Structure 1
Amino acid sequence: MTIRWVACELHTHTVHSDASHTLDEMATAARELELDWIALTDHNTVSGWAFKEQVEAKRGIGILSGLEWTTFYGHMLTLGANVLHHADWRFTGPDDIDEGIAGIHKSGGLAGIAHPFRIGSPICTGCYWEFTIGKWKALDYIEVWNGPSPHMKAFNQRAYLFWTELLNRGLRIPAVSGRDWHHSLLSSEATLAVTYLGVHEEAAAGYAGGGAALESAVQDPRKGVSEPQLLEAIRLGAVSVTQGPLLKLYARETGREENRTFGIGEVARVDPSAGSRLSLTVEADFEVRKRQWSLEGQELKLCLVGSAGIVAEWIVPPVSAAFKTCSDMTGQRWIRAELYGTMNGQAGLLAFTNCIYVEEGSLTL
């Protein structure tokens, strides 16, 4: 099944909360950045939603309904249905966030932690996450990269390590990025991360209506993809985050007559006793949003990282290519791809995929 990767910005603000631009101005800038969708996540208000459909039609960009649940104990990004119907941030204390998450789910939305380790009061009231989560499995995602040049910020590096710790504890929580977009001014030295969400092409075609509608989707990124499909991609962990090239990861079962292929967010079940192993493929697409970034004149390091350590490494040029390895997955509970290099003079992690999860045992599902 073909996956369509949709370029999204999942954390934005407008004049309806504390930003300096209107939704229309932000949507215009988003199209210039070659984004397909943005999420409108103003602080504790959905008043900006009144202009959503008008701006979508005018600017040809999808706008995902959202809200940043802003409290003294942490900020939670909610995406999807109007959470004000079933959940009220004003009545949520540091020890009952589980009830708030349940209310968000009741509304049909997703709940994710925003910038969990960003400095808090008095610099940013409530930015640092202090809620006590009792049911981590109820959480839909974590924003591990926040703001421009996210790989250079210590609080993001800490969030990335925390996400890894949760994965090692057996929790399958997706990770996303968010610009926390308040104004359109940006230093020439800064870089921007994009969250790509994987939507099944067949489902997108069904939504668009096929034929002429699909042809129109090339001109209008909104068409062919629906808000529920994007929410489902996050929920399933079909997510790849990057400041430049798009990384895709696949695992193919080998050693059996009916080999299967697994994508990002899926569970690959292998049975070593039956000769079943996993062949891993990383695809690096350097053609996406090419006007927005450059990695020319350098070699990059591409890694496959698992719960038990490094699985494979390659030194690669900045061109689109696929890299394969067939490795022993014994002891690995998850696997993800990471790309390291230098962008705008800033060296570090440039892109990463979410995980393919690995389970050993009988192949009977």
Structure 2
Amino acid sequence: MLQTKGSEMKLASYSMQMTRENEQSHFIIRMFIPEHLDSIVVSFSYQPEKEENQAVIDSIIKEQGDLYNLNQQEKESISSLRNLITLSVTDPVGYRGSCHRFETTQTVRLAAGGSTPGMLNRSIKSGMWDFAFNMHAVVTETCQLDIQIKGFHEKATNRRWFQSPFEKLEKKKHYQLGPIESNASHTYLKGEIHTHTNHSDGGQTVEELVGGAKAQNIDFLAITDHNTMSATEQIASLANTHQVKLIRGMELTTFYGHFLTLGYQDDQAENWVEMGPSTLEETLVKMKDQGVLVGIAHPYSPGTPFCTGCHWEYELKKLDFVDFIEVWNSDDPHLSPTNIEAFQLWTRLLNDGHQISATCGRDWHVQHTDKQVAYLFAYLPQKPTEQEILRAIQNGHTYISCGPELEFTANNRYIPGMTLLLDEKESSIRIGVAIKQMDEKHKVVIESNNGTVLESKDHELSHLIEESEDLKWLRVSIFDDAHVRVAFTNPIYIEDSNQREL
């Protein structure tokens, strides 16, 4: 949190001790600079200026003089040895310059005009900045470096960054017009796509994770450690041993939100340190170019300092590069208020015309739990390829459940994630629902953008919708006797051929 006083905004403050081992290195402060700043002022000082002990000076001159083949006269001409620390700056546009001066106390101004010589005159662009303190020489045993970075503007603020995303988003749609064909080889397979091992903050090894998945009859599993893919180096051997389809993934864990990324072809992780809250799209484009699936994780979990960056605060203007939203996270996901909020967000996006899939993730850190676990079930061949799994997640051919097994179709040919196009040949909608392992207290609710379509306690039901004006989507949810949702499907999208956008 920033401290402000009038138009002065304290951005950063550091105090550290350098040693001779820090010589010829760079101390880089990489940080996000907010919008609307007129100027930035960097003040820094270091002490002592030079080495005062003559014996130490003589020793260094002899050692280094011998290295450079200095003669005795040249050695004697060196009267003192001094420290030298300078400042270089890079902003989102590029390299701004450097102030290479010998003063031990400096104040450097950055602005559209009147910048300190050495720095280009350029407006203060919001984004990730690098302030590099260059250790040209540290000749004293220790050297104290103190840094203060401030921003100036007429408007005061008290936060570095806080964004309320998902407002006024451009429409995201995917069209899957081809209905399913009768195919005995396809069924709903059980999956888990949010997991952690001891390669990040998990309490289980990779072997224990995959073995635990096999014990729970999980068919496909993504390994998604925080900001690293070192755990996925073992994928091939573990997949053969445990007969679980494994997917390379990573939870990109940043200051401004987490997102699940699935389907890497190698173990090279994206460098999250380079990401700023207003430059997310640049990173997403790079990942999509590699064919990686991208999903927003637990968007309403409490953020820093409660959970580092868990709350989604990225500037997001469109969902073109986002494939899914994790609306159920962790164990007992159906009871979590933050998951309920995420589910409501997803419903609102659907109502606004966005066609985006919902997923669940156990956020699996330890083997055992006494809480209820939800799984992601995807409509797939018995032995799916990785691409078939990713496509099913992306298109929403899935349902999420804490227990009941679901089948949901429209006109016997459309499953969740598909788009039913109404025309003269197909003008009504016949909904079919079949449920296994359903408790007698459970209730089935067919939902739509227009509200509840039908409530029933039947395990199997068929319902005809003849009036479909303004209908955008249909999904099925199962509620327990406390009216808590325990399972739900992704929607079947509905479009009228006369109103479809070209």
Cα displacement (A) at 1:127: 0.3
Aligned residues of 2:233 and 2:267 also touching (Cα < 8 A): no
For residue 338 of structure 1, what is the aligned residue in structure 2?
477
Listed as ranges, the matches of 1:189-208 within 5 Å are 190-199=371-380, 201=381
| Number of residue-to-residue matches in the alignment | 317
Cα displacement (A) at 1:244: 0.6
Distance 2:348 2:193 in 1: 23
> Deviations along 1:76-131, whole A, 9 cap, x unmatched?
10000158758432211111211121111111110000000001111210000000
Aligned residues of 2:395 and 2:418 also touching (Cα < 8 A): yes
Distance 1:118 1:66 in 2: 21
Is 1:281 the counterpart of 2:423 in the alignment? no
> Deviations along 1:58-77, whole A, 9 cap, x unmatched?
11211111000010000010
Distance 1:160 1:336 in 2: 13
Distance 2:188 2:244 in 1: 15
Cα displacement (A) at 1:28: 1.4
Listed as ranges, the matches of 1:1-365 within 5 Å are 1=181, 2=183, 3-82=186-265, 87-187=270-370, 190-199=371-380, 201=381, 224-252=383-411, 261-271=413-423, 276-286=427-437, 296=439, 298-316=440-458, 321-327=459-465, 328-341=467-480, 348-362=484-498
For residue 209 of structure 1, what is the aligned residue in structure 2?
none
- Output the aligned Cα RMSD: 2.1
Distance 1:30 1:9 in 2: 8
Distance 1:300 1:362 in 2: 38
Counterpart of 1:6 in 2: which secondary structure? strand
Select the structure of larger CA radius of gyration. 2
Cα displacement (A) at 1:239: 1.1
Aligned residues of 2:221 and 2:245 also touching (Cα < 8 A): yes
Distance 1:84 1:121 in 2: 28
> Deviations along 1:190-242, whole A, 9 cap, x unmatched?
1000001112x4xx6xxxxxxxxxxxxxxxxxxx1111110011121111000
> Deviations along 1:8-37, whole A, 9 cap, x unmatched?
011000011111101111111112212111
Counterpart of 1:351 in structure 2: which amino acid? Answer: A
Counterpart of 1:138 in 2: which secondary structure? coil
Aligned residues of 1:151 and 1:350 also touching (Cα < 8 A): yes
Aligned residues of 1:248 and 1:264 also touching (Cα < 8 A): no
Q: Call closer, same or farther: CA 1:71–1:238 in 2, change over 3 Å.
A: same
Q: What TM-score does the superposition give when structure 1 sets the normalisation length? A: 0.82
Q: What TM-score does the superposition give when structure 2 sets the normalisation length? A: 0.60
Counterpart of 2:484 in structure 1: which amino acid? Answer: G
Counterpart of 2:373 in 1: which secondary structure? coil
For residue 55 of structure 2, what is the aligned residue in structure 1?
none
Counterpart of 2:202 in 1: which secondary structure? coil
Q: Hey, which of these two has a bigger chunk of helix by percent?
A: 1
> Deviations along 1:165-184, whole A, 9 cap, x unmatched?
11111110000000000111
Distance 2:267 2:350 in 1: 31
Gaps of 5+ in 2: 1-180
Cα displacement (A) at 1:47: 0.5
Q: Call closer, same or farther: CA 1:42–1:278 in 2, change over 3 Å.
A: same
Distance 2:413 2:244 in 1: 32
Distance 2:308 2:301 in 1: 10
Q: Call closer, same or farther: CA 1:313–1:36 in 2, change over 3 Å.
A: same
Q: Call closer, same or farther: CA 1:65–1:86 in 2, change over 3 Å.
A: closer
Aligned residues of 1:13 and 1:41 also touching (Cα < 8 A): yes
Distance 1:229 1:165 in 2: 28
Counterpart of 2:429 in 1: which secondary structure? strand
Counterpart of 2:314 in structure 1: which amino acid? Answer: F
Counterpart of 1:262 in 2: which secondary structure? coil
Counterpart of 1:70 in structure 2: which amino acid? Answer: T
Aligned residues of 1:145 and 1:156 also touching (Cα < 8 A): yes
Percent identical among aligned pairs is 32
Counterpart of 2:388 in structure 1: which amino acid? Answer: Q
Counterpart of 1:329 in 2: which secondary structure? coil
